Amino acid sequence: VVLPKRWIVERTLAWLGRCRRLAKDWECLNRKALAFLRLASIRLMLRKLCNPA
């Protein structure tokens, strides 16, 4: 059964997947992968704040 809010999570993961560094699993350390995920999230939030359309 598909949950009603599932598309929000899938859309967010698709946006993060567009970042080149996160598209493949290159990182050996979880700490490093988490740092790049955090940077991609910050970049996404800044883009949404600076270009409200």
More reliable by pLDDT, 22 or 43:
43
- Nearby residues of 36 by Cβ (< 8 Å), 6 or more positions away: 19, 21, 22, 27
Give the number of other Cβ atoms within 10 Å of residue 36's Cβ: 15
Q: Predicted confidence band at 17 (pLDDT cuts at 50, 70, 90)? A: confident
Q: What's the chain's average pLDDT?
A: 80
What is the DSSP secondary structure assignment for residue 18, as one 8-state letter? T
CA–CA gap between residue 10 and residue 29 (Å, rounded)? 25
Q: Predicted confidence band at 53 (pLDDT cuts at 50, 70, 90)? A: low
Of 50, 23, 49, 21, the residue nearest 36 (C-alpha): 21
